[in-house]
Structure 1
Amino acid sequence: MPHTIVTNICEGYSDCVDACPVACIHEGPGKNVKGTTWFWIDYSTCIDCGICIQVCPIEGAIVPEERPDLQQTP
């Protein structure tokens, strides 16, 4: 099951982007409610490896399940 980046918790660190082995994490358009850059996970490409969760410095910014209600996907 793909992971989800919680749009309004993400603070725009790109550690997850660099670590992702399948390049499924992309920058979202504009800013989130915190006023920061945010990222989103392409569910169709995510291989559920969990590396993004391990490298993200913001607790709770990435959850280990597919939650389209928490992730704004362009």
Structure 2
Amino acid sequence: MPHTIVTNTCEGIADCVEACPVACIHDGPGKNTKGTDWYWIDFATCIDCGICLQVCPVEGAIVDEERPDLQRTPQ
């Protein structure tokens, strides 16, 4: 099951982008409610490796389940 980046918790640090072996993490348009840049995970590409969870320094920014209700995914 893919992981989810919580849009309004993400602080745009992007350690996850560099670490992702399948390049499924992309920058989101604009700012989140905290006023920071944010990223999103392409659920169709994510291989559930968990590296993003390991490298993200922001508590609660990534959850280990597919939660489209927490991640604003650009159409």
Q: TM-score range by the shorter chain?
A: over 0.9
Code of the aligned partner of 1:19: A
Which SS does the other structure have where 2:40 is aligned?
A: strand
Aligned partner of 1:10 in structure 2 is 10
Instruction: Establish whether residue 39 from structure 1 lines up as the match of residue 34 from structure 2.
Output: no
Q: Provide the C-alpha distance between the structure 2 equivalents of 1:12 and 1:62, rounded to a whole number of angstroms.
A: 12
Identity of aligned residues (%): 81
TM-score (norm 2): 0.98
Aligned partner of 2:70 in structure 1 is 70
Q: Provide the C-alpha distance between the structure 1 equivalents of 2:14 and 2:64, rounded to a whole number of angstroms.
A: 18
Code of the aligned partner of 1:20: C
- Runs (4 or more) in structure 1 with deviation over 4 Å come to none
Structure 2 unaligned spans of 5+: none
Deviations 1:4-36 (A, max 9, x none): 000000000110000000000000000000000
Aligned partner of 1:60 in structure 2 is 60
Code of the aligned partner of 1:51: I
Q: Provide the C-alpha distance between the structure 1 equivalents of 2:13 and 2:67, rounded to a whole number of angstroms.
A: 20
- What is the root-mean-square deviation of aligned Cα atoms in Å? 0.2
